[in-house]
């Protein structure tokens, strides 16, 4: 790319397909990095090219198995630091442990803060991530942190695939209203809110729908789909309230356990996810699950950071 500030991309093993797509987008091939696991599970990293004085972008989602990928991220950062990289940006499309962002009861941890500390102490100079579960997690880092939003990517996809005049953007809970309103304002759509309660982690119960969804094409907009229970329950309730159709747009497709089966048998017409997480073959083959790429968005953000340009202008 003409005029591009020199930079190097390094990828962990969590999502190498996305890393390569980012590299293709900004014309920056992946730097050689050998990652091995010993018989007892210990991780060994060797950077196979000279990176002394280079601007390094290390791409690694901390998805399942989260603990392994977090440790791999930390070891890669340490290897890069000891190889005399000029600057290390940890590009974490999906930031694991983000849901543990506050004390939920007595004698419980704030694990998102712990992971942020580990990344900083390992030697990262800055962090680039996408749709953090809670915006305040940016403040957990003592280094510059850019939290990108998937909204423009979803806006483009919705505009191409739906009649936006009939859309109703639905927040799956009260906490996601700001996120839903952001997308709705870009599309000129109305919003509705799912009133739910969570008896225990991993389970949700839809109590009511706030807003008139009768005759509308509803789009549930959320940051994470884990077990799929919230989305499926919300879709059933929306259809019950008269919604013409219900689809879901979710940034991070965690899709744990029987999530794929649950979605396939639900009232959802489709679930659209990004490639922030490398999902299973079953998910990719599912009729109701469609994946779109965030490589152009992340690639442009990386290019801007390398060139010391504004990242926030991506969302103007």
Domain 151-292 has CATH 3.40.50.2020: yes
Q: What is the pLDDT of residues 45-91, one digit of tens each?
A: 999 999 999 999 999 999 999 999 999 999 999 999 999 999 999 99
Q: What is the pLDDT of residues 129-157, one digit of tens each?
A: 999 999 999 999 999 999 999 999 999 99
Does the annotation list 25 as a binding residue?
no
How many CA atoms, within 13 angstroms, populate the side-chain half-sphere of residue 173? 14
Predicted pLDDT of residue 79 = 98
Q: β-strands 289-292, 217-225: how paired? A: unpaired
Would 8-148+295-315 and 151-292 be classified into the same CATH topology?
A: yes
Task: Verify whether residue 196 is a known catalytic residue.
Answer: yes
pLDDT at 220 over 80: yes
Q: What's the mean pLDDT when you consider all of the chain?
A: 95
Q: What is the mean pLDDT of residues 263-285?
A: 97
Q: What is the mean pLDDT of residues 28-46?
A: 97
8 A C-beta contact, residue 236 and residue 196: no
Does the annotation list 195 as a binding residue?
no
pLDDT at 164 over 60: yes
> How is domain 8-148+295-315 classified at the CATH fold level?
Rossmann fold (3.40.50)
Does the annotation list 242 as a binding residue?
no
Among the residue ranges 9-23, 24-38, 205-219, 262-276, the one predicted with the least confidence is 205-219
Does the annotation list 179 as a binding residue?
no
Predicted pLDDT of residue 3 = 45
Predicted pLDDT of residue 207 = 73
Predicted pLDDT of residue 27 = 96
State what percent of residues in the chain have pLDDT above 70.
Answer: 96
Predicted pLDDT of residue 295 = 98
Measured in residues, the chain has a length of 316
Q: Place 5 in a pLDDT band, splitting at 50, 70 and 90.
A: low
The residue from 8, 17, 81, 196 that is catalytic is: 196
In the chain, domain spans: 8-148+295-315, 151-292
The helix (H) or strand (E) run that includes residue 162 is: none
pLDDT at 101 over 90: yes
pLDDT at 200 over 70: no
Does the annotation list 226 as a binding residue?
yes
8 A C-beta contact, residue 5 and residue 306: yes
Place of tokens 């010993």: 38
């Amino acid at each position: 790319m003409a005029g591009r500030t020199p930079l190097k991309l390094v990828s962990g093993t969590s999502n190498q397909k996305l890393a390569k797509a980012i590299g293709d987008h900004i014309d920056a091939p992946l730097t050689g990095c050998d990652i091995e696991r010993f018989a007892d599970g210990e991780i060994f990293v060797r950077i196979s090219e000279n990176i002394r004085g280079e601007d390094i972008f290390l791409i690694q989602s901390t998805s399942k198995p989260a603990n392994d990928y977090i440790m791999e991220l930390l070891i890669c950062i340490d290897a890069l630091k000891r190889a005399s990289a000029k600057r290390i940006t940890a590009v974490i499309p999906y930031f694991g442990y983000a849901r543990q962002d506050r004390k939920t009861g007595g004698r419980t941890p704030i694990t998102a803060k712990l992971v942020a500390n580990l990344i900083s102490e390992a030697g990262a100079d800055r962090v680039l991530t996408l749709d953090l579960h809670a915006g305040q997690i940016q403040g957990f880092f003592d280094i510059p942190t850019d939290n990108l939003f998937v909204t423009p990517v979803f806006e483009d996809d919705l505009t191409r695939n739906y009649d936006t005049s009939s859309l109703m953007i639905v927040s799956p809970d009260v906490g996601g209203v700001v996120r839903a309103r952001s997308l709705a304002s870009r599309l000129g759509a109305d919003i509705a809110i799912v009133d739910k309660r969570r008896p225990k982690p991993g389970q949700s119960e839809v109590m009511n729908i706030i807003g008139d969804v009768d005759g509308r094409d509803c789009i549930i907009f959320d940051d994470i789909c884990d077990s799929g229970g919230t989305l499926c329950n919300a879709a059933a309730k929306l259809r019950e309230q008269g919604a013409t159709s219900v689809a879901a747009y979710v940034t991070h497709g965690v899709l744990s356990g029987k999530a794929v089966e649950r979605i396939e048998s639900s009232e959802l017409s489709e679930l659209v996810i990004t490639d922030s997480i490398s999902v299973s073959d079953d998910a990719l083959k599912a009729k109701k699950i469609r994946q779109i790429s965030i490589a152009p968005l992340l690639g442009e953000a990386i290019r801007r950071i390398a060139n010391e340009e504004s990242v926030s202008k991506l969302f103007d």
